[in-house]
Each structure stands twice: as C-alpha cells, then as structure tokens.
Chains A and B, each alone.
Chain A
Amino acid sequence: MWESVINWIESNLFSCFFVKHLGVECPGCGFQRSFVALMRGDLGESFQLYPALLPTLFLFLFLILHLIFKFRHGANVLKYTFIVNAAIIMTSYIIKQVHLHL
C-alpha cells in the first residue's frame, strides 16, 4: 500500500518550468525526488538530492504548530530556521551548478 502510494507520487511529479524553458535547474529542483527518497526512508539519498528538504519541512511544520500553540520563542525559532534554510538552499544550489557546468 505504502509502496504503491510512493510509486504513484514518483510517476506523477510536477515538472519544473525552469528546466523545461531555460535548460538550467532551479534552486527548488530535486525537492520532489528528495521527498520520495525520504518517504522510502532513504535519508542519505534524500539529503544528497536536496539538502534543504528536512529544514524546509521543519520550517512549515513548525509554522503550523506555532500558529496553533503560539510558542513563546516560536517567532525567533522560525526566523533563524528560515535564515539557515535559505543559506542551505543557495549554497547547495551554487555547489550543484558549479559541479554540473564548470
């Protein structure tokens, strides 16, 4: 059952406009493949495909929890998670592009 859900998701991934029209990967490319790898339980492959997946999921999950439970330092946690997350996304994207094209 779980495997069939994963297979269905894997065969119905959204294709990236960026790659289709510009021929270059965007900073969000790999997110869905990484998510599928995470659902299979393969943390290493998930991290390799998109290092910012877990921080991003944590960010959105914590945002929802913060809106419901109103943690005392929730806003600061979200702010720093966001900054770290943006840094990871940009760094990994630059490293990926340098490896691919240079």
Chain B
Amino acid sequence: MEEQNQDNQNVWAGPGAGGQQGQGQQHSGAQNPPPQQPQQPQQQYPMQQPLPNGTAVLVLGILSIVTCILYGIIGIILGIIALSLASKDQKLYEANPQMYTPSSFNNLKAGKICGIIGLILSVLMILYVVFILLFAFSAASPDIWDL
C-alpha cells in the first residue's frame, strides 16, 4: 500500500499541471481498488497456521510402538486413530498448502509413517498370539484337528 501511495504521489508531483493533477487523482481513484482485490485473499490468512492434528498424529504414531501391551490391541487402536487423523489432515493440506506451516506437515508425515509401522507390528503381534494359542491347543489335544 505504501509503495502504491508513493507511486501515486510521484504521478501527481511529476507533471505539475492542474489539469493533469485531476487526471492523476482520477487515475489513483481508478487504480487503487484493483491492487487491493488480490490482497484480500492473502489477508484472510495473515499467518500460516499449524495443521489441526499434526502434533496428535505424531504422538499417537510414536505411542503405537507399544505393540505388546494387551496383545497388540492398544497398538492397533492408536495406529488406526493416527492414520485416520493423518488422512483427514492430509486432505486439508492438499486443498490449501499455503495455509499451513511446513513443520506441522512434516510432523504429520513422520507420525503417519510411525503409525503405519506401529499398526503393522501390532497386527503381526495379534497374528502371533493367535498362532501361539493354536499351537498350545493343538499341543494340548492333538486330536482337535481330526474332527
């Protein structure tokens, strides 16, 4: 805005003639609104804001490494929550990348990867538990599969 005012003042000061001053005023009146219009969308986002769930995804994704507690069920719950929040926020970010801080998007990406790994390990953990139970049952009563 200040630059524009200075430009307009230069326009007024340059010619010095009365008639041209009037033109200059008209000129400034006509030109001032168009530069303001593109500024309005920028003014809606004066500062980049962090993604709403960036931190939560990172924390949940890292906590999902507790794969063994309660046979992996807690790891699966944390991992699924982290991944669903991450996909929601990723859509938000892709819709409007300039609006959000890059650091929160980095947190989101890291949390998503941690969540995926934690989820896979927890699923493996549950499969392992099922395997142990089947093994134990079949060892306890070998005839169980003969039906």
Chain A positions near chain B (C-beta within 8 angstroms)? 16-18, 22-24, 26-29, 56, 59-60, 63, 67, 70, 72, 75-76, 78-79, 82-83, 85-86, 89-90
Contact A70 B103 (CB under 8 A): yes
Number of interface residues of B (CB under 8 A): 28
A17 to B70, CA, bound (A): 7
A63 with B59, Cβ < 8 A, contacts A75-B110, A79-B114 known? yes
Contact A78 B58 (CB under 8 A): yes
CB-based A-B contact count at 8 angstroms: 66
A41 to B71, CA, bound (A): 31
Chain B positions near chain A (C-beta within 8 angstroms)? 55, 58-59, 61-62, 65-71, 103, 106-107, 109-111, 113-114, 117-118, 121, 125, 129, 132-133, 136
Contact B106 A76 (CB under 8 A): yes
Contact B136 A22 (CB under 8 A): yes
A-B contact pairs, 28 of them (CB 8 A): A16-B68, A18-B68, A22-B129, A22-B132, A22-B133, A23-B136, A26-B125, A27-B125, A28-B66, A28-B67, A28-B68, A28-B69, A29-B68, A60-B62, A63-B59, A75-B58, A75-B111, A76-B106, A76-B110, A78-B110, A78-B114, A82-B65, A82-B113, A82-B114, A82-B117, A85-B65, A86-B118, A90-B121
Chain A residue with Cβ nearest B108: A75
A24 CB contact (under 8 Å) in B61, B106, B117, B132: B132
A22 to B71, CA, bound (A): 10
A11 to B68, CA, bound (A): 22
